[in-house]
Amino acid sequence: MNIMQSAKAAKKASVYLAAVTPNSKNNALQLIARELHNNVALIKQANETDVERSRKENLPAPLLKRLVFDDAKINEVIAGIESLMTLPDPVGKTLLATRLDDALTLYKVSCPIGVIGVIFESRPDALVQISTLCLKSGNAILLKGGSEARETNKILAETIYNAGCKAGLPQQWLTLLETREDVSAMLKMDDYIDLIIPRGSNAFVKYIMDNSRIPVLGHAEGICHVYVDSDADMQMALKVVTDAKVQYVAVCNAAETLLVHNTIATTFLPLLKQELDKYNVAIVGCEQTQAIINVNPATDEDWKTEYLDYKLSIKVVADVDEAINHINTYGSRHTDSIVTANRETAKKFLDLVDSGNVFWNCSTRFSDGFRYGFGAEVGISTAKIHARGPVGLDGLVIYKYKLIGNGDIVADFVTGNRTFQHKIIDDNCPV
C-alpha cells in the first residue's frame, strides 16, 4: 500500500472506529498490553539492533538514551495501557442537551476527531503511548517514527496493530509509515488526515507547522519563565527557580528566563547565583542584573532562546506588568510561573500571561500530562484553539450535534405555528 492508499484506508477505518464501544476498546487495549508482554524478547532484540546501529552511526548520547527500550520501559508502557483502561471513555459523552420544542431535542455529543497523523523522533515509548491514546479516543492513526528506531517501531506497531485487529478493531486502524518521503506526502493529505501531532526538535516541529494545511497540535519551543515578585518568599523562590532550571534541563517545561522584581533583586540574585553555581549554571543577565551579580550580558536573542541546558537568562523588572509584557513578547505560550505572596498580583499574572499553563508558587516542571493526572499525553500544545497545555484524551475528541425529532420542519417555526423552548435538560443522548 502506498501512503495515499494508507491514508484513504485510515479515513475509512476512522468512520467505524467512531462507533466501537468502550468495552471493545478496553478489550483491545488489554490484548495489546498482553501481546506486548508476550513479545518482550522480540522487542528487546529489535531495539538492540537499533541501538547498536545508532551507536555506530554516532547518534548523540542523549538521543541514544531515549532510544533504549528495555524491560523497565516495556513494563512502564504496559502499566500506562492498564491505567488508560481505567479512564472513562471520552467518546459518546452528552456535553449539552437542549429541548428545542416538544419531541425535538438537541444533543452535543463527544466523538473522535477522525484520522490523526503522528510524527515523532527516537523514543519508542511515544509510539505505544500515542497509539493507545488514539485508540481509546476512537481515532485512526498514521504513525511515522524516527529512522534510528525503525526496528523497534516496526515490531511495536505490528504487535499493537495485530492485537487490535484480533480484538475486532477495523482493518487499517493503525498504519506505520516507513520513509521520510511518507512524511512530506502526509502533510499534503488534508482530505484524509484531520490532525497532525509532531513530537521532536524545535526545527522539526516548525517544519511540520510551516508545511501543512492540516491543523497541528504541539509546540515548537518551551521558553518558560519564572517571575519572582517583590512579595515573594525568598526561600520559596530559590527552591522553585532552582527546580524549574536544573531538575531536568533538556525538556520543554524547564525555565529558561528568570524575571525578578527590582526591589528584591539585590538580595535575591546573589543567593540564587550561589545556589545555581552548585549546578554550574551559566547565567546571562540584563544591565541591572550585571550590576548585582557577576554574569555575562544577555542579548535580545537570549530572551527568545530555549537553551535546554544549564543556562539561565535573568532580567530585572519594575513590576508585574513588565514581567507579563516580557513573557507575552518573548515567551512561547508554554508554561510560566510567578512566586509571590500577594494574591492580587498572582491573579493578574495568571489572567494576563497568555500561556497554556500559568503557575503560582510552584515549578514550571509540573507542566506534564502524567503530573496533571491525565494518565498520559500526546504532547503539550501551545496553540490557541482546540487544546492547550498537556493534551490527553480530551484533546483527541471533538463533538457533533445530534438533533432528534419527529418529522419537525423549520417552516412551522418560521410561520409562528410553533416556538422554540430552548430548555437545557439533563438527559443523555438516547442514540
90 to 109, contacts with a copy of itself by CB under 8 A?
98, 100, 104, 106
User: Is 371 one of the binding residues for a copy of itself (CB under 8 A)?
Assistant: yes
Looking at residues 332 to 361 of the shown chain, list those that interact with a copy of itself (rule: CB under 8 A): 339, 343, 346-348, 350-352, 354-361
Backbone phi and psi for residue 284, each to the nearest 5 degrees, phi listed first: -120, 150
Question: By CB under 8 A, is residue 310 in contact with a copy of itself?
Answer: no
Residue 18 in the binding site for a copy of itself (CB under 8 A) = yes
**How far is residue 139 from each of residues 83, 116, 233, 376, measured CA to CA in Å?**
19, 7, 47, 16
Grid cell digits, residue 183: 512524511
> Residue 228 has which C-alpha cell?
519572582
What track of x and - describes contact with a copy of itself for positions 108 through 147 (by CB under 8 A)? ---x-xx---------------------------------
Q: Which amino acid is at 228?
A: V
Would you say 307 or 359 has its CB closer to a copy of itself?
359
CA distance 159 to 141: 15
- Minimal distance, residue 429 CB to a copy of itself, in Å: 9
Work out which of 324, 376, 378, 391 binds a copy of itself, going by CB under 8 A. Answer: 324
187 CB neighbour count, 10 Å cutoff: 22
User: Which member of 250, 277, 405, 428 binds a copy of itself (CB under 8 A)?
Assistant: 405
Could you tell me which residues come within 8 angstroms of residue 233 by beta carbon, excluding any fewer than 6 positions away?
Answer: 339, 341
Contact between residue 152 and residue 43 where contact means Cβ atoms under 8 Å apart: yes
Q: Which amino acid is at 19?
A: A
* Closest CB 61 distance from a copy of itself, rounded Å: 21
Position 262 contacts a copy of itself (CB under 8 A): no
* Footprint on residues 220-249 left by a copy of itself (CB under 8 A): 233, 235-236, 239-240, 242-243, 247-248
- CA dist., res. 225 & res. 235, Å (int): 18
How many amino acids of this chain bind a copy of itself (CB under 8 A)?
81
| Nearest residue (CB) to a copy of itself, 16 versus 310 | 16
Q: How far apart are the first and last CA of the chain?
A: 36
Residue 219 in contact with a copy of itself, rule: CB under 8 A: no
Q: What are phi and psi of 96, to 5 degrees?
A: -165, 140
CB of 262 to a copy of itself, least distance (A): 22
- By C-beta, is 290 or 342 nearer to a copy of itself? 342
Q: Does 372 bind a copy of itself (CB under 8 A)?
A: yes
Is residue 72 a contact point for a copy of itself (CB under 8 A)?
A: no
* Half-sphere exposure at residue 54, Cβ-oriented, CA atoms within 13 angstroms: 25
**Residues in Cβ contact with 23 at an 8 Å cutoff, skipping those fewer than 6 apart:** none
Determine which helix (DSSP H) or strand (DSSP E) holds 198, and give its type and residue range: strand 195-199
Q: Is 62 in the site for a copy of itself (CB under 8 A)?
A: no
Work out whether 88 is an interface residue with a copy of itself (CB under 8 A).
Answer: no
* Closer residue to a copy of itself in complex, CB, 35/413: 413
